Structure 1
């Protein structure tokens, strides 16, 4: 559906029974986020907070709280994208079905932004007037969690050259001067970094505009993995089936359909500590020096809504973004990455820590099966765009077997574990860049990657005989079955890598027996019961708490001509390390306060009863 504004969207959801108004004044510091998390976990409605403590503005969250609601917001335009993708894959389809092309031409026109003379954002407030959303107890301040950060190359304000990204913004705390400075956090492989470098080279002022709110399409476009050179502003128009309106005010680019727009200039040669922040991996990202915006001005429309979300251990509201992005781009995977049939950045594992892929093997079909072409495809995935941030990449060849869907994670992993040859099919990348938010590595933005490639006939069956693990060495206390062929072994807390080597020596001696060959994956943890309680716990712990170069071991491991190999089982040490970030946990006092809010609010009480 085409939405003129965020409030228009909220009105539509309210008519559908998909939005709940919270009339009681609530504190944006921990309380509102805790209520949001409760509602999200029960797949509840969007929440419109009519009274936010210490702010004159209303706020709204959980608009994307279910995949069904997110797909409803974009159901009309998704059909048009199906047509557009078919045209990209087969341009001759325009000639085969000219009527369809004519019907969609007006929609394509919506990609063209236009400049307005009569500006909609005429009111001004200060940063301290905004709803100060602080989601987790150790957060360093309040943050904008659904920002649309707009930047341009030097000397340009051409919307076609704009980059729009969802880079978190810290509004207060630490050493930021109140109402005068805010913090800008952006990560590797982000378009804003290119613009920032261009401005530094040109010694020009780096001006930013930060939109908040507006039609839901604006938020989705900000995180969409677009081809380089295609502006998110143009894409916003297509997603919303409505041209993107903007104006130039005080020398800044101001979107006219957002609810708020913060303008400022990135201070040259000035960095300040940003964070901590409870992020989407389920841990606190720590304090680090990042750029600072000064000369702040906050514009807003009449009767605006502050749009926010709450992130934390996945799944959370932003999970729906991944689902709808996949539905739009899945047909384009093969043209973006030739030979790749499917990819799945696993949300419950934190997205970048684990990527599953299905590729093609066409090099030597007359020879014995082994990974060849899929290694080329793995390098392509790790060398381009957002997939380059993946830490573990597990890739299987599509033929001649029927490989399980990459979204059927357990089945896909078991398919690979039956076939992978740990002597030949493990490929490590060391001392390389990893996701900024991943603290499992050896330094900030630094760690390793592991490609597990699979193109073989079955080598083993997978066992579920957990009783084989009853007589573990003394450092290991219990074993729990995760799934066929996957076992979690509980151990003492990690101390040092030197001591871990000794522990793993004892464990591999124990596992050096034929009965363990059918358990090709063993994971070390401090809490095997937690890991075995739910498959998502296994995925989250295993892939967010391990650095492949440091934490992957195996039976009879050896190096030969720079290649590391082992026999089954492969062992991943997923225990918490001293340098890892802290797990997110809600504040007990806030939990009790939200319990009382639910109890005394009839509509909320009804939802939870």
Structure 2
């Protein structure tokens, strides 16, 4: 279905029982976020909050709260996008398939951006303080815009192809920001707005940006899409929405005409202010750092404006659906953009960037004994291109042995890799490099290391579960539990310093050498064995978000030869919490009680939780 604006989508979902209205007044300070989290966990409907305390505007969340609802919203484009992908891979496809070309031509032409004849959004204005001041987590630095569409152009350009639209979080209040005058702008590595910022710093022009909130769902999805250089999110939004992106200009600001709100302002090129903390999608707080400040000019809004927001935290959350949609739309492009790569999957449960899985090809020397060769080249390509370059751990396997190998079953793929990896040859470290801004496991902000596990061998070990081994570990003073076959969680005393940790874990590894570990591939040192071993999601999250490869990986029988680190026995990951890590996101008992009481008063929510 084609949605002209967010209201169209709301009406459609409500008519299908996929959206409910919350009529009682709700507190935007923590309570609205906890309700969202609980409804999301129940795979519940989208939520339209009609009365948000302190604001005249309605709020919408959980729009993309289920995979099924997200696919429904973009159902038509999922089919038509396949044609566009084939066209990109092979431009002659259109000539060879005239029927499909004619069938898709109308929607392609109708998606070309156009200036709006009706720019009524600029007739209504408000202040920052009138917007819903939604604070999601206890220690957040203030209220944030969580689904912003931040639009910038390079100096002197109004060409749509030059525009960058990104989802960079916006802090509305708190810290040192002057209410109604300033907001904070947070952007990370590998973001297009940074290029524009640098260009403005080198020019004498004002750095004007516009922040859209709401509008057709396609505007939101396009702003987070990993597009190739040269393809603007504005143009792409029209393709996703199957309708032209409407826009206009007002006093030098780009105005997305179908947005619900547009915040306009200038980036102060010489000013930074503390931004954060913010409970982020890794499941921890993104800490306070200095970031650019936007001096607010005007805030425009529709007459029937809806404040579109989400709540992020330890995955899975609503934004997990974005990853699914992106994967579905571009999966057939993988082999074209990444030669030799057959499949790529950033693991949501591990926080996305900490763990990347990939299936590659080995074609270099098919007549020789199997070993990782071409897949190492492919790993370098992944770590040197776009968003995949933010990966901290990369497990890549060739599918020569098993043509049905895929990434749908994450535990199965990881075990496949651990069974076949030769830990004396297949571990490739990158040290003192950049990692995701939100990942605090490294040696500094944006600084850390990476590990590639490249697999193309016969089975090296048969992984299994040995209960007698658990007893022997307990006798040595190390309570342990299995995550899965060949993967152990071992409790150890709390981390103090890396100097102490190196001594402690090397002593542990020496003790482990006394045991029969031929059926073990990975030992994870942790603070809480029960939590770590409860399920795979806990293991993936705690292990890969709390581990810095260069500092936290050890091995039973490890050594270094010609600058290559190797281990004759199982790998040992130190996944304990460390003093420099950001704190995890927690919900207080007091907040739980308040939300329990709110749900008891809400007939609509009662139906969600009793279903």
Aligned partners of 1:288 and 1:466: how far apart in 2? Answer: 47
Q: CA deviation at 1:503?
A: 1.6
Q: CA deviation at 1:424?
A: 0.6
Aligned partners of 1:485 and 1:434: how far apart in 2? Answer: 29
Q: CA deviation at 1:297?
A: 1.3
1:108-143 residue CA offsets vs partner (Å, 9 max, x unmatched) = 113321112431212010000000110000000000
Contact 1:475 1:491 in 2 (8 A): no
Q: CA deviation at 1:601?
A: 1.4
Contact 2:180 2:296 in 1 (8 A): no
Contact 1:475 1:503 in 2 (8 A): no
Q: CA deviation at 1:515?
A: 2.0
Q: Note the residue ranges of structure 2 that are not aligned, 5 or more in a row.
A: none
State the match for 2:56 in structure 1: 56
Aligned partners of 1:82 and 1:155: how far apart in 2? Answer: 36
Aligned partners of 1:466 and 1:204: how far apart in 2? Answer: 69
**Could you tell which deviates more after superposition, 92-101 or 220-229?**
92-101
Aligned partners of 2:221 and 2:536: how far apart in 1? Answer: 29
Aligned partners of 1:466 and 1:15: how far apart in 2? Answer: 55
Q: CA deviation at 1:447?
A: 0.3
Q: Note the residue ranges of structure 1 that are not aligned, 5 or more in a row.
A: none
State the match for 1:19 in structure 2: 19
Counterpart check, 1:244 vs 2:252: no
State the match for 2:75 in structure 1: 75
TM-score, length basis structure 2? 0.98
Aligned partners of 1:341 and 1:159: how far apart in 2? Answer: 33
State the match for 2:101 in structure 1: 101
Contact 1:404 1:411 in 2 (8 A): no
State the match for 2:415 in structure 1: 414
State the match for 2:91 in structure 1: 91
How large is the Cα RMSD of the aligned pairs?
Answer: 1.2
Q: CA deviation at 1:603?
A: 2.1
- State the secondary structure of the residue aligned to 1:516: coil
Aligned partners of 2:110 and 2:433: how far apart in 1? Answer: 41
Q: Summarize the alignment of residues 39-438 of structure 1 with structure 2, pairs less than 5 Å apart.
A: 39-121=39-121, 122-402=123-403, 404-438=405-439
Q: CA deviation at 1:475?
A: 8.3
Aligned partners of 1:107 and 1:247: how far apart in 2? Answer: 22
1:169-201 residue CA offsets vs partner (Å, 9 max, x unmatched) = 000100001100000000000000001111111
State the match for 1:452 in structure 2: 453
State the match for 1:587 in structure 2: 588
Pick closer, same or farther for the CA change 1:173–1:366 going to 2, 3 Å: same
Aligned partners of 1:475 and 1:127: how far apart in 2? Answer: 60
**Could you tell which deviates more after superposition, 179-188 or 557-566?**
557-566
State the match for 1:10 in structure 2: 10
Aligned partners of 2:200 and 2:476: how far apart in 1? Answer: 55
Contact 1:466 1:479 in 2 (8 A): no
Paired residues in the alignment total 609
TM-score, length basis structure 1? 0.98
Q: CA deviation at 1:469?
A: 2.8
Aligned partners of 1:111 and 1:393: how far apart in 2? Answer: 37
Counterpart check, 1:467 vs 2:465: no
Q: CA deviation at 1:97?
A: 2.2
**Could you tell which deviates more after superposition, 468-477 or 135-144?**
468-477
State the match for 1:540 in structure 2: 541
Contact 1:179 1:296 in 2 (8 A): no
Pick closer, same or farther for the CA change 1:459–1:28 going to 2, 3 Å: same
